[in-house]
Structure formats: structure tokens, C-alpha cells
Structure 1
Amino acid sequence: MLVDFEDQSISDMEVDFTGSLLQLAHRYADAILCPLTWQGRGLVIMPDVDSNLEPALRDHTAGMQQMLQDWQQDFSKRHQVQVDCGLGSVHKLPELQRSYQEARMALSYGRTKHEHGFFRYYEDCGILSNIFAGGVESAFAFCRSALGRLLEYDGENEGDLLATLKLLLETNFNYSATAAELFVHANTVRYRSDKIEQLLMRDLSDPDVRFNLYAAVRVQEILVDMHILPDGYVGKVHEKVHGSEAAVNH
């Protein structure tokens, strides 16, 4: 589980963060929690439990998750701080890195939706968890395939086509509402919409096209929030095999 404190630095909360979780583990005989800080965030490692084993162990995992969610609510209330949590899936110890990346994705999912004080499970991120299931490389490939020409145009012309596309998708292509959000004229939005359609060579009135484009926009936002690629970048991305982060190769 990855933990972000919205209103305070983790360095200011580190002692209370670690101590409260160790006390929590002490209260429950079957709870093993390893709290630490990592790259400016709180990190909690729990023992891996194979979800394919007997129901008792699956119940134990669910109980641990609920216990952590209760801790989040209690910690937030006692310290008057917004606590965001992203929880990865259960994996065996050699695949701990995979659970960490899933927790990062779940945390970024909530942040890019501008949620506050959330507890987000990776498995509850809908279609996006399926897109990220193949790793960062495949998620980036999906994003680049869908939006590459658009991002290249924005990068070369300092354009706002990506932001316009996102708002059009969120407003069901309501030009007036999109224009109001962007502080431009509705005719400007119509022009941009035509330009987007031209660049992507897609029919933006097609529901399947809109669905795929919105998923790609969300993937791009999450990859940027995860610091896996800078905003607007359309080059290659490679994950470090033995590292905790992904590197962007220029």
C-alpha cells in the first residue's frame, strides 16, 4: 500500500505514520505490517497470501484490507490530514515489485480524478487496471497508439488539443460547456474538434472511438502522475527490470 499525505510532507508525519501502523499490528495477532517511507511517500508491505488458496486465507486478506482502511480514517481524523491510499493486488514475494507498481497506479488514478482522502484498490480501477496489467510498457503503447499524433501536434505547436479532447469526452461533446471550461469561444472548440478528428483519422461520433480515446487520455494522465513520462512526451518508455521506477529513454 502506498500512502500520500496531501496537506503535509511525509517527513513531518513519518514517526506517527510508522508508530501507528506498528501499534495496529501489535493489536492484532495475525497482522504483519512493515511500514516505511519510500521516495516521499509512505509504504506498507503486508505478507503475501495466495488468493487461490483456501477461503480462510482469502478472508484474512480481506480483513487486512479493511483494517488498513479503518486505520486511514482514524489517522486522518486524529491528525487532521488528508490521507490518500493506493493498494496493489496480492502477489508472491518475488513479484513484490508488481504489487508496488499497481499501488502506484491506484494512487495516481485517484489523484488524476482529483479525489481527496481516498482508499483506492488497483482492482477497482476498471478498464484501466486491465490496460496496466501488462505493465507500463503496454499501457504506454496503448496511449501512444491512440494519441501519438495528437500529442506530437500539441508538442510542436504548443497546442491544447489534448485538453480539449478530454473535456469534449467528459461533456459528451458539449461544445458550449467545453468552451466555458477552456475560456474560449465555442467555434474555437469546434475547430479543434475537427483538427483532432483529422489528426487521429477517427470518427469522433463513434461511441467505441470515444471510449478508447477517453481510456487513452486517462492512461496518459496516470503515467504523467506516476512520473513515468513527462507531460506531452511521446517517445519510448522502458521499465527497469530491477528498479523501483520506470525510466524514460529519449
Structure 2
Amino acid sequence: MLTRSTAIAARVTDGGAESTTVESILDTDFLSEGVVIAGREGLGRIVDRLTLIENLESIRFWIGAQDLVLTTGFALAQCTEPLSSFVSAAHSAGVAGIVIHFDEDITAIGDGTRAVADELHFPLITVSESFALDHVLARGVRDRAQQQVRTMYRSERLRRLLVAKMVAGGGVAELASAAAAELDAAVLMTTSDGRRLATAGADEEVRALCRSSALDATGRLKTDSTDGGLGLRATDEGSIAVCAIAANGIDHGRVAAFSRHRTLSTQDLHVVDAAAAVFALAVTRDLALSKIEEKHRANFLRDLLLGRGGEHAHAVAHAQRFGWNIGRPVVVVVIEPIPGVDATRQTPDRMPLVDRQMMAFSGALAQRDPHAAIAALGTETVIMMGAGPNTVNAIRDIIDSVRGDGGGGRQPFAVGISRSCTSVEDIPGIYGQARTALKVGRQIYGTWAVTTFDDLGVFRLLSLVENDDELTSFTKETLHELTEQTAEARDMRKTLEMLLATNINIAETARNLHFHYNTLRYRVVKLEKILGPFTERPDLRLDLSLALKIMAMRGIDHYM
């Protein structure tokens, strides 16, 4: 015959029809000395499992919904975050409540923490005696606690191994290889939006990872989810554990372990997280070392764009120190994100948008033109690459690679492409062409515009007019009320545009606009009353065409 305590233990550990609550466990001799110090209104929360936590820094790996967490004052004293934040995080994870064994490290909980627990209806319970892990209610708790200890030792072993590799000068490739050997799994390191930086492990494991649904069609690790793709999940080829590589509040990327021959567990995720911490140190070190060189690169590229690069031979020789070849025919490409748009969803905070964008283009560019120059300058990324008959197509391929499918953090951007030049002295001129193409193309075509300078046509001339008031005045004086943003004015502008495009061919215009011939004749009469006899005057038609293009260049009309 079961006692009250053993019946509850069966429900907690094995499940059952009757729910166990925090309050019902308080009624047993397991917590007979328990005192509810906050969150009393939450005593009805369901308890599915008791979990002993001695290291609160790794609590996210060991707790789940409906866990009643057992911890100690010593563990709370080691916690680096405020206890109120710890309570809020546990509540968000669905934890049923926290039971604290007070000792000499912490003997009281602050009023602020109690207030948070009361507001959340999250039970905080204190006990004065150590937890009796041999109690029937604690069945399985000891085993889970031992798992935590074993995992902590395993994580520390890997951490020490990776730190030793890093101190010896090892890069991310060496660290990935060491982690793969220790984890007995394939290891993948990526940027924050999933681009591969290093892969290691047995060939068959790596191939399975590359085939798996964890990667998108472009070969990137999928990070386009609310949590950034972090945690444990199953794929069609095996299981994967993903953790963030973060340092100084900046999200630098992801490290993932993948196995097709075993199911990765919470313990594996904890170990991968330890590896991610060392990867973050390595990334921070590499960034610090490259930052000075990157500054020199950016300064020299800026000098070239502003005409301060020196004589041709000197500039070409200096560029070769950075691995750039500017002694060949080159084009300038300018990439600029849409102002004010940076819909980053992942935490922690990421590096500035332009820097992320430059890194993305740098990786894609290296595969097609390893001797191209690239740098983030202010609000834009500038590329100077070799020119050839297929340059524009190559640039579009690079853009498609950067945009891709899946991944995260890629924001809308516009691109301007210059003509080619063969002399360093001409670089400032083609930089201006790329800037003009970007600016005008974005105004005409909107988000994601990719525009070459040769595509601009008459817009090149219009862009040279710096006095916006003069353009506005010309447009209003030419189009009159057709400049208004009403449905009727937009419709009449569209009719006028088609008439000009067909050289006032009434029949062809009517067919293109799906109008009856007489309807269009009526519209022509109405337009001439507003604009003058444009069907008879070629000079007036030219003015009207220019006025319509000015409106398009300013992004007012996008049907052109």
C-alpha cells in the first residue's frame, strides 16, 4: 500500500492522471519545513520533475517546463546576474517554482526579488535542512545532478584543450578540429547569419551535415528563427546542437555540433556552449589583430576614391601589400543599406550593420576575385574589382549569394556599379559614377536596386542638377496639376507616358493601355487642355518627358 509521499513521487517521476502541484509537495515530509516567502498565489503550478541545480550559470541547459528547482544559498551566491532576473528567467522557462536551502552564503532573499516573484505568482520556498536526496520524491534527482557534474568536467576539459590551442596561436580551423575530435561529431563554425567559416570532423559526418536540413540551399546554417536557430534539434540526417559565439555583447556567429550516429543531448549542448566561449575569445583576438590592418586598408581605399592615392605606379605597388590588384581595368561597386532599416531579431547585440555587410560581401567576393579591394567606409561598403565582359553578371551573382535564402540579419541594400577605368587617377571619377548609379537607381527602382551607370540614360544628366528647387519648379511648370498625388493625376501621367513612348500613336497607346480608341482621343484632348498642344510640338514633348523622369527619379512614380 502506497503512502501519500510515494504516491506523489510516482506522479512526479512517472506521470499520471492526477496532477502534482507545488502545494501538494509542500504537504509531504520532503518539504515539511518549507516556508513560502513569495509567490504564494502560484502554489497551484503543476510539477512534473524535481531538478537539483548547483550551477545557476548553466541552468538553461538543465531545466524545463514544470520543473521544481532545488538549489542552495551557495549556488545563488555564485550567480552573476541579479536574483530577480534569475527568477524572471525561470518563470519564462515554465519552471514551477524554486526551493532554496539557506546556508551561510545566503540567509535571506531581498525585497526586490520577492516583489518580482509575487508579481509573477512564482513560488519561492526556503528550507533550513539539506535536501534528502534519498527521499522517494527525489527519485532521479541524484542521477541528474551527477549528469550535471560529469558534463561540467567534460566541458572544462574541452575548454582547457581549446584555450591551449588558442594560446599556441591556433585559428578557428584548428579549434574546430580539436572540438570535433573531443565531441566525436562534425563541428561547424559560421557567421551570425550562417555563412561557413570552418568545418571539421569525420568526412562522412561533414557530408551528412552539408546534406541535412540544418543548412539551406546556399549552404548556410539556418538562423532565421526567433531564437536564431539556437539549441537542440533533429534533422533529416541526424541531430544538431547550436550555440551562439558572443563576446562583449556582440553576436559573432554560431558553433554547431552534428552527429548522424547518435542523438545529441542536453549534455552535448552544454559542452558546445563551452566551446563557443573559447571560439568567442579566438574571434575577439582575431578581430583585434585585423582591426588595425583593416583600418589601413580602409584609409588607403578612401584615399584612392578621393584622388589621394599618389601616382599610378606607387598606388599599384602599395595596393599589392594588401593583396589588391588595381593595375588592371577595374570597376567600383558601392553598396549601401536602406537608411534606418536594421531589423535585427537575435540577441545579444550584433556588430554594426555596415561591418556585417562588408564581411558578407568579402566572403562572397573572395571566391570570384581574390585580388579585389573591399572596405566599409562610413555608411557604405565599397568594392574595387577587376573589369571584364562579364563583370556585371559576376556582381549580380555576388549580390545573390549575399542575399541568399535563409540565414539572418541581411538587410535591404541598393547597389551602384561604375564604368571601368585603367588608371588610378580615374578612380575618383568612377567612384562618383557608382554613387550616382546607387542614388538614382534607389530613387527610381526602390529597395534592392542594382543599377549600372550606363543604365541611367538621361537620369545621369538630371542627377547633375544640384538645385532641387529648380527641378521641382520645372516639373510643376511643365506638368501643372498632373504633379498632384491623386488617383486621377497618376492615371493621366501614365497615359501621357505611354503616348510619349509610342510617339503619339493613338491606336498603339490605346491597345497598350486597353482603352477604346475614342476614350483615348478624349484623354488626349483633356491632356492638351492641361499641358498645351504637345501632339504638335516636339519641344514640348521633350519637356514633358524630362518632367516625368524627374518625378520617377525622385521616387514619385515607379511605373516607368
* Cα offsets for 1:80-110 (capped at 9, x unmatched): 79x9633479659xx98x975652203444x
Q: 1:34 Cα shift? A: 1.5
Q: Does 1:142 align with 2:498?
A: no
Q: Does 1:23 align with 2:351?
A: no
Higher helix share: 1
Q: 1:173 Cα shift? A: 2.0
Q: Distance in 2 between matches of 1:101 and 1:136?
A: 16
* Cα offsets for 1:115-136 (capped at 9, x unmatched): xx97423354222211220136
Q: 1:35 Cα shift? A: 7.4
Superposed counterparts of 1:151-170, under 5 Å: 151-152=483-484, 155=486, 160-170=491-501
What letter corresponds to residue 525 of structure 2 in structure 1? D
In percent, how many aligned pairs have the same letter? 18
What letter corresponds to residue 178 of structure 1 in structure 2? T
Q: Does 1:33 align with 2:375?
A: yes
Q: Does 1:210 align with 2:541?
A: yes
Q: Does 1:71 align with 2:395?
A: yes
* Cα offsets for 1:122-156 (capped at 9, x unmatched): 3542222112201360433332232134335x749
Per the alignment, residue 78 of structure 2 pairs with none
* Cα offsets for 1:54-93 (capped at 9, x unmatched): xxxxxx78749x8676233244268379x9633479659x
TM-score of the pair, normalised by structure 2: 0.28
Q: Distance in 1 between matches of 2:540 and 2:386?
A: 37
Q: Distance in 2 between matches of 1:149 and 1:23?
A: 50
What letter corresponds to residue 400 of structure 2 in structure 1? S
Maintained 8 Å contact 1:25/1:31: no
Deviates more, 1:18-27 or 1:141-150: 18-27
Q: Does 1:122 align with 2:453?
A: yes
Q: Distance in 2 between matches of 1:158 and 1:220?
A: 13
Q: Distance in 2 between matches of 1:25 and 1:172?
A: 44
Per the alignment, residue 381 of structure 2 pairs with 44
Maintained 8 Å contact 2:506/2:520: yes
Q: 1:166 Cα shift? A: 0.7
Q: 1:177 Cα shift? A: 3.1
Give the gaps of 5 or more residues in structure 2: 1-333, 345-352, 407-412, 420-426
Name the CA shift for 1:136/1:34 in 2 (closer, same or farther; >3 Å). Answer: farther
Maintained 8 Å contact 2:416/2:436: no
Q: Distance in 2 between matches of 1:10 and 1:181?
A: 40
Maintained 8 Å contact 1:25/1:33: no
Name the CA shift for 1:4/1:215 in 2 (closer, same or farther; >3 Å). Answer: farther
Q: Distance in 2 between matches of 1:100 and 1:124?
A: 13
- SS of 1:34's partner is strand
Between structure 1 and structure 2, the one with the greater Rg is: 2
Q: Give the paired residue count.
A: 198
Name the CA shift for 1:148/1:99 in 2 (closer, same or farther; >3 Å). Answer: farther
Q: 1:45 Cα shift? A: 3.3
Give the gaps of 5 or more residues in structure 1: 47-59, 232-250
Maintained 8 Å contact 2:418/2:437: yes
